[in-house]
Amino acid sequence: MPFDRELLKGSIALLILKLLSERDMYGYEIIQESVRRSQDAFEFKEGTLYPALHQLHKRGYLRSEWRTGENGKQRKYYSLTATGKKAARRSQQEWFSFTKVVNAILSKANS
Amino acid sequence: MTHPDRIVSQVILLAKLPGNKRRCEVEKELRAHLDDLAEEARSQGYDHEASARIVRTRFGEPEEVAAAFASVYAAERLLKLIFQSVILVTVSTVAVVLVIGTLQSIAAIFTATSIMSNLRDIHREVFGFAAIVAGYCSLYAGERLFPTSRARALLPSITLGLSLAALFGWLIPQHVALPLAAFACAATGRLLQRVEIPFVWFAGTALPLLMAWALFGPLIPGWRFPWLVWLGLTISCKALREIVGLFERVFVEQFAETGGQS
């Protein structure tokens, strides 16, 4: 089922922070990983990932560095800063609380 | 130009990212991503055409990506624009003061009056200097803001001209004609400098002056060399043209012309 674009847009920062809290990744890898974990359900225009990464970098949540991979290709790897780690935890908690509330409302409405 | 190159160029061109270093970095990053996408499509057996289509679809519209980048760097772009404008206006004002100060000194030598007393009063002409710079730079700003429409490029000049008329009318009601004429001369001078007929812009600096003269009489009562006012304005316009040219070479980034290939 395709998700609403605004919904995806709103959650992209959370997904980036969460994935990067596990390991350093480059843009294409972030996309691959989110598609894999969502079992292909999570699809968004990949170009829009980069402005989101730059926004988080500007806020001081991410640091980046160019690294050369095994195939000789240069990739820009992103990793979380200390502030980014805090933001990742906070965003995740916020998301769980939010979805809990929304679920409670929806289940009440459905019952 | 390959398909990924076109996408990257479009994003860079439309995003108007501040700074060459940042542009190169984004360009390299997007390019790497598009290469990965194309490689993935090819490894799945798609031909060149099909993989280009897949890359485009998965990446999204360049306009949309560019708009998102533009909004991320909007504050930096604005700060940079303000900083550049302050530099342009400051350098332009210094140039106009130097041109007119030099001309007045030369006139003082020829009339055997004191150069120092002439230059001591130069601060009284501050409205005139400001008007020349405002007239010239507002038209240049219009050209930058509306590069495709000559009529709309006049809007900043007209708006600023009317505002200055109101301000000068309130601050210096007795001497409003000269600075306003200077404003119009500088703006018309800039306008006609774009016409590819040599020296036609001399008329641009002369016409508003003559019209003001016809309407309000001598702009500087008792002054023996009224043509020196025109000469001062014309040389100022020439100096401002050089300054704007230098400003464009130094500050105005070339990505619009090269499509991010800098």
Hey, are the CB atoms on B60 and A52 less than 8 Å from each other?
A: no
Hey, are the CB atoms on A48 and B28 less than 8 Å from each other?
A: no
pTM strictly above 0.90: no
Hey, are the CB atoms on B58 and A46 less than 8 Å from each other?
A: yes
pLDDT greater than 80 at residue A99 = yes
Residue from the list B26, B36, B64 with its beta carbon closest to the beta carbon of A28: B36
Distance CA B253, CA B8 (A): 17
Distance of CA A56 to the CA centre of its chain: 10
Q: Which burial class, exposed, middle or buried, applies to B34 when counting CB atoms under 10 A from its CB (0-12, 13-18, 19+)?
A: buried
Q: Out of B52, B72, B92, pick the residue that ends a domain.
A: B72
Q: Is residue B259 part of a domain?
A: no
B125 Cβ contact partners less than 8 Å away, ≥ 6 residues apart: B100
Of A3-7, A69-73, B238-242, the range with the lowest mean pLDDT is A3-7
* Same domain as B68, residue B83: no
Greatest CA separation for chain B: 89
Report pLDDT digits (tens) over B78-106: 998 899 999 999 999 999 999 988 988 88
Q: Is residue B233 part of a domain?
A: yes
Q: Out of B72, B87, B117, pick the residue that ends a domain.
A: B72
Pairing of the two strands A62-68 and A25-26: unpaired
pLDDT greater than 90 at residue B62 = yes
* Same domain as B30, residue B80: no
Distance CA B252, CA B152 (A): 21
Does A109 or A43 have the greater pLDDT score?
Answer: A43
Does A70 or B77 have the greater pLDDT score?
Answer: B77
ipTM: 0.87
All domains in chain A, ordered by first residue: 5-110 (1.10.10.10)
Residue from the list A46, A48, A73 with its beta carbon closest to the beta carbon of B32: A73
Q: Is residue B255 part of a domain?
A: no
Mean pLDDT of A43-65: 93
Q: Is residue B92 part of a domain?
A: yes
* Same domain as B40, residue B90: no
Mean pLDDT of A95-99: 92
Using a CB-CB cut-off of 8 Å, the residues of chain A touching B68 are 48, 51-52
Does B258 or B164 have the greater pLDDT score?
Answer: B164
Using a CB-CB cut-off of 8 Å, the residues of chain A touching B69 are 50-51, 54
Domain containing residue B154: 76-250
Hey, are the CB atoms on A45 and B58 less than 8 Å from each other?
A: yes
pLDDT bracket for residue B221 (50, 70, 90): low
Using a CB-CB cut-off of 8 Å, the residues of chain A touching B62 are 47
* Same domain as B119, residue B154: yes
Of the residues A8, A16, A28, A33, the best mutation for testing chain B's interface (the one with the most B CB atoms within 10 Å of its CB) is A28
Q: Is residue B202 part of a domain?
A: yes
**In total, how many domains does chain B have?**
2
